[in-house]
């Protein structure tokens, strides 16, 4: 993962290395995700003008993780995430990593429609006692500094960011090797009959809706979610724990919906109707574990369920 800014006269030239989240996207769509201040039509015109290298690329080119491109952008339209004074819940911090309990409703990094108020803006806005901005890894670029993995806007919970490039590379390696533990709690619709189970279905972009993911046997990447039932609320709702073996976009949401149990409040993969007014899917990243990139020590962090989640569990019907 990389987005390196190179000054070049009236242009900024960005060198981008696409990551797993970009796999299979059209070039124009992938670049639009990386450069949220530019419209897709603007990106297409830049590609058509030959300002994206290597030569021979078109807007329809499908990108792969690890592909490297450079794009020349007028400096007036280039985006860099700005520091903002936003309070965030710091779980752990040292010279290499910072673990946060992300609040529900906060976007992780700037993107189209969410250029401010993100976790990245908050991390950049934090100051040391000496007054210097907290350092973040530059591996993911000027829009996603420090960001090793992401959770959805309406998902709360534990997330680790890297403060050095070496730490970032080490944590990314753990993600790829599946040694980073990520355990979630969720409330799903319906009564899950089995006490535990595994969903092993490939996930890729939805064939007709670009903003959605879907089980995709043809073009999807392997995705594995293990779940355990914690409590049943009649036949209407089930409180579960979900452990990620892989980390595809919207993985838990897509997988649980695929077996007939969409997350409560998930209007993208489930029903828009909910008697509980949850304002998004009921999903919390409770446990995060990884090997410290410097010491090698195994660290595990657990974040409490947010208040809205606890209150929901209290009012769900038991019968």
Q: What is the pLDDT of residues 69-109, one digit of tens each?
A: 999 887 555 566 789 999 999 999 999 999 999 999 999 98
Based on the domain organization, do 281 and 218 belong to the same domain?
A: yes
The torsion defined by the Cα of 5, 88, 295 and 247, in degrees rounded to 10, comes to -70
Based on the domain organization, do 95 and 169 belong to the same domain?
A: yes
The verdict on whether 152 is a catalytic residue reads: yes
Question: What gap in Å lies between CA 284 and CA 252, rounded to an integer?
Answer: 11
pLDDT at 132 over 60: no
Q: Is residue 298 part of a domain?
A: no
Based on the domain organization, do 170 and 198 belong to the same domain?
A: no
Between 53 and 289, whose confidence is greater?
Answer: 289
Question: What gap in Å lies between CA 221 and CA 251, rounded to an integer?
Answer: 11
Give the number of domains in the chain: 3
Based on the domain organization, do 66 and 127 belong to the same domain?
A: no
- For residues 199 and 258, the answer to whether their CB atoms sit within 8 Å is yes
Based on the domain organization, do 96 and 66 belong to the same domain?
A: no
Between 79 and 201, whose confidence is greater?
Answer: 201
Other CB atoms closer than 10 Å to residue 280's CB: what's the count?
Answer: 19
**Residue where a domain stops, chosen among 177, 198, 230:** 177
Looking at residue 76, its pLDDT comes to 53
pLDDT at 204 over 80: yes
**Residue where a domain stops, chosen among 77, 98, 132:** 77
User: How far is it between the farthest Cα atoms of the chain?
Assistant: 69
pLDDT at 142 over 90: no
Q: Look up the CATH number of the domain holding residue 43.
A: 3.10.290.10
pLDDT at 128 over 80: no
**Residue where a domain stops, chosen among 51, 77, 103:** 77
Looking at residue 131, its pLDDT comes to 37
Looking at residue 295, its pLDDT comes to 97
Between 128 and 121, whose confidence is greater?
Answer: 121
Beta carbons within 8 Å of 173's beta carbon, 6+ residues apart: none
Q: Is residue 293 part of a domain?
A: no
Kindly give the residue spans of alpha helices, DSSP state H, lying in the chain.
27-34, 40-48, 119-125, 165-177, 251-258, 307-315
Tokens representing 3? Answer: 């987005």
Across residues 269-286, what is the average pLDDT? 89
Based on the domain organization, do 197 and 123 belong to the same domain?
A: no
Q: Is residue 291 part of a domain?
A: no
Q: Residue 4: which pLDDT band, with cuts at 50, 70 and 90?
A: very low
Question: What gap in Å lies between CA 14 and CA 8, rounded to an integer?
Answer: 10
- For residues 220 and 203, the answer to whether their CB atoms sit within 8 Å is yes
Across residues 264-269, what is the average pLDDT? 95
Q: Is residue 301 part of a domain?
A: no
Looking at residue 77, its pLDDT comes to 53
Q: Residue 1: which pLDDT band, with cuts at 50, 70 and 90?
A: very low
Based on the domain organization, do 160 and 214 belong to the same domain?
A: no
- For residues 250 and 213, the answer to whether their CB atoms sit within 8 Å is yes
- Full residue range of the structural domain in which residue 111 is found: 89-177
What's the angle, vertex CA 185, arms to CA 179 and CA 190, rounded to 5? 130
Q: Residue 164: which pLDDT band, with cuts at 50, 70 and 90?
A: very high
Looking at residue 138, its pLDDT comes to 82
Buried b (16+ CB within 10 A) or exposed e, 15-48: ebbbbbbbbbbbbbbbbbbbbbbbebebbbebbe
Based on the domain organization, do 146 and 194 belong to the same domain?
A: no
The structure tokens 């073996």 sit at: 245
Least confident of 26-30, 31-35, 49-53: 31-35
Q: Residue 148: which pLDDT band, with cuts at 50, 70 and 90?
A: very high
Based on the domain organization, do 204 and 264 belong to the same domain?
A: yes
Q: Residue 39: which pLDDT band, with cuts at 50, 70 and 90?
A: confident
Q: What percent of the chain has pLDDT over 70?
A: 91
Highest mean pLDDT among 49-53, 221-225, 275-279: 221-225
pLDDT at 11 over 80: no
Q: Is residue 299 part of a domain?
A: no
Between 51 and 160, whose confidence is greater?
Answer: 160
Q: Is residue 300 part of a domain?
A: no
> 284 in helix, strand or coil?
strand
Based on the domain organization, do 39 and 104 belong to the same domain?
A: no
- For residues 12 and 75, the answer to whether their CB atoms sit within 8 Å is yes
Residue 288, strand partner residues: 182, 301
Given the residues 19, 67, 152, 154, select the one marked as catalytic: 152
pLDDT tens-digit map of 205-237? 888 886 789 999 888 889 999 999 999 998 899
Residue 93, strand partner residues: 98
- Whether the CA torsion 189, 193, 196, 197 is positive or negative: it is negative
Question: What gap in Å lies between CA 263 and CA 257, rounded to an integer?
Answer: 7
Looking at residue 5, its pLDDT comes to 41
Q: Is residue 158 part of a domain?
A: yes
Strand order of the β-sheet with 11-17 is 2-8, 11-17, 68-74, 52-53
Q: Look up the CATH number of the domain holding residue 153.
A: 3.30.2350.10
- For residues 71 and 46, the answer to whether their CB atoms sit within 8 Å is yes
Distance of CA 67 to the CA centre of its chain: 20
Q: What is the pTM of this model?
A: 0.79
Q: Is residue 244 part of a domain?
A: yes
């Amino acid at each position: 993962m990389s987005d390196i800014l190179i000054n070049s006269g009236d242009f900024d030239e960005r060198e981008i290395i696409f990551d797993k989240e970009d796999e299979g996207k059209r070039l124009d769509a992938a670049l639009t995700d990386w450069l949220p201040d530019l419209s897709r039509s603007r990106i297409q015109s830049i590609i058509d003008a030959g300002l994206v290298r290597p030569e021979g690329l078109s807007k329809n080119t499908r990108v792969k993780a690890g592909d490297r491109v450079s794009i020349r952008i007028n400096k007036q339209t280039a985006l860099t995430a700005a520091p903002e004074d936003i309070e965030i819940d710091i779980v752990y911090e040292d010279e290499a990593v910072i673990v946060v309990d992300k609040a529900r409703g906060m976007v992780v990094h700037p993107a189209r429609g969410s250029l401010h108020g993100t976790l990245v803006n908050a991390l950049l806005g934090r100051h040391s006692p000496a007054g210097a901005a907290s350092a973040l890894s530059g591996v993911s670029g000027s829009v996603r500094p420090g960001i090793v993995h992401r959770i959805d806007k309406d998902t709360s919970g534990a997330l680790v960011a890297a403060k050095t490039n070496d730490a970032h590379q080490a944590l990314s390696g753990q993600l790829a090797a599946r040694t980073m533990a990520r355990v979630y709690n969720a409330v799903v619709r319906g009564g899950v009959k089995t006490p535990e189970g595994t969903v092993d279905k490939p996930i890729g972009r939805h064939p007709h809706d670009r903003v959605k993911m879907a089980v995709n046997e043809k073009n999807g990447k392997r995705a594995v979610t293990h779940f355990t039932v914690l409590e049943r609320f009649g036949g209407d709702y089930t409180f579960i724990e979900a452990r990620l073996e892989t980390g595809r976009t919207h993985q838990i949401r897509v997988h649980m919906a695929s077996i007939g149990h969409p997350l409560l409040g998930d209007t993208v993969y489930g029903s828009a109707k909910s008697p509980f007014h949850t304002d998004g899917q009921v999903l919390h990243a409770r446990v995060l574990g990884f090997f410290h990139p410097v010491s090698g020590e195994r660290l595990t962090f657990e974040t409490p369920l947010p208040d809205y989640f606890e209150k929901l569990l209290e009012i769900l019907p038991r019968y």
